[in-house]
Amino acid sequence: MSDVCGNSAGLLTVEFWGPMACFCPPYAKVDRLSYAVPTPSALRGMLASVYCKPAEFWWAIRKIEIMRPIKYLSVRRNEVKRRLSDRGMRPIDVTACRTQRAMTVLKDVRYRVTAQITPADGCRRPLAALTDQAVRRFEKGQCFQQPYLGLRECICDFALSDGLGRPIQESMDLNLMVFDTHVPYDNRKNAPFSSSLYHAVMQDGVILVPDYDSPEVIKLGRGILAGPAEGSDAYVAGTV
């Protein structure tokens, strides 16, 4: 296994790219306005789309590198204002419930993500075995579902990083961003919603992500984020 792909500490460096992305903050759920960069929880979900065993491990994002310039695109799309009812699954009259909403998305994105496979309590498999299986899945392009960049219509490609290329040479203070909408290592099937924030700073295209248990991560519980922001996260097998 090469140092670029992974190492004995369970670290993997993976690249995701696509024509469009939308990592929507909780305060912009109607007319969606994307963050400038992906949230750790969205990236965790993208990784989990490829390799996910909640009973054995969870993904911890360590570093985010922005490989292409940050560009925005404004679009309008037709949506429906109602959801299918859980009671009887009665159909929706699309013509009566249609509405048009604006959406500001990111255009032509590519991210290099360094993440760590963190064994869960009670995991009996060695870390090296978990890492090797993850590497094989990324090399073969296998996934449980196609990863997407915030919204399900923003599907993306993925591959293990070859380490070539530099991130954009741009720095900015991104202020408070969503860190996660769940406790990352809570592997219960119906884990309760628990929001958290962190102060994201991009230095020469690189964002260092603190550990969830770090004091740098602000835990709100149900807090000010009343529910998962639609389009902000892509957590699979515990999906948001």
Structure confidence at residue 226 (pLDDT)? 45
Q: In whole angstroms, what is the distance from residue 171 CA to residue 203 CA?
A: 4
Structure confidence at residue 178 (pLDDT)? 93
pLDDT digits (tens, 9 = 90+) for 98-113: 888 888 999 999 999 9
Structure confidence at residue 27 (pLDDT)? 78
Q: In whole angstroms, what is the distance from residue 115 CA to residue 63 CA?
A: 7
Q: In whole angstroms, what is the distance from residue 41 CA to residue 47 CA?
A: 10
Q: In whole angstroms, what is the distance from residue 201 CA to residue 175 CA?
A: 7
Max alpha carbon distance in the chain (Å)?
56
Stretches in the chain below the pLDDT threshold 50: 1-8, 224, 226-240
Number of Cβ atoms within 10 Å of the Cβ of 36: 15
Hey, CA dihedral for 100, 195, 151, 168, is it positive or negative? positive
Kind of pairing, strands 157-160 and 195-203? unpaired
Task: Provide the percentage of residues in the chain whose pLDDT is more than 70.
Answer: 85
pTM: 0.83
pLDDT digits (tens, 9 = 90+) for 68-99: 999 999 988 888 877 776 556 677 777 778 88
Closest Cα partner for 52 from 113, 4, 118?
118
Structure confidence at residue 87 (pLDDT)? 59
Q: Residue 145 has which token pair?
A: 């579902």
Q: How far is CA 228 from CA 27, 195, 232, in A?
A: 11, 8, 8
Residue 156 buriedness (CB in 10 A; 0-12 / 13-18 / 19+): buried
Q: In whole angstroms, what is the distance from residue 48 CA to residue 60 CA?
A: 11
Say if CB 199 and CB 175 are below 8 A apart. Answer: yes
Say if CB 97 and CB 82 are below 8 A apart. Answer: yes
Structure confidence at residue 37 (pLDDT)? 96
Structure confidence at residue 124 (pLDDT)? 83
State phi, psi for 231 to the nearest 5 degrees. 90, -5
Q: In whole angstroms, what is the distance from residue 69 CA to residue 161 CA?
A: 18
Q: At what angle do helices 40-50 and 127-140 cross, to 10 degrees?
A: 80
pLDDT digits (tens, 9 = 90+) for 133-153: 999 999 999 999 999 999 888
Kind of pairing, strands 11-21 and 206-208? unpaired
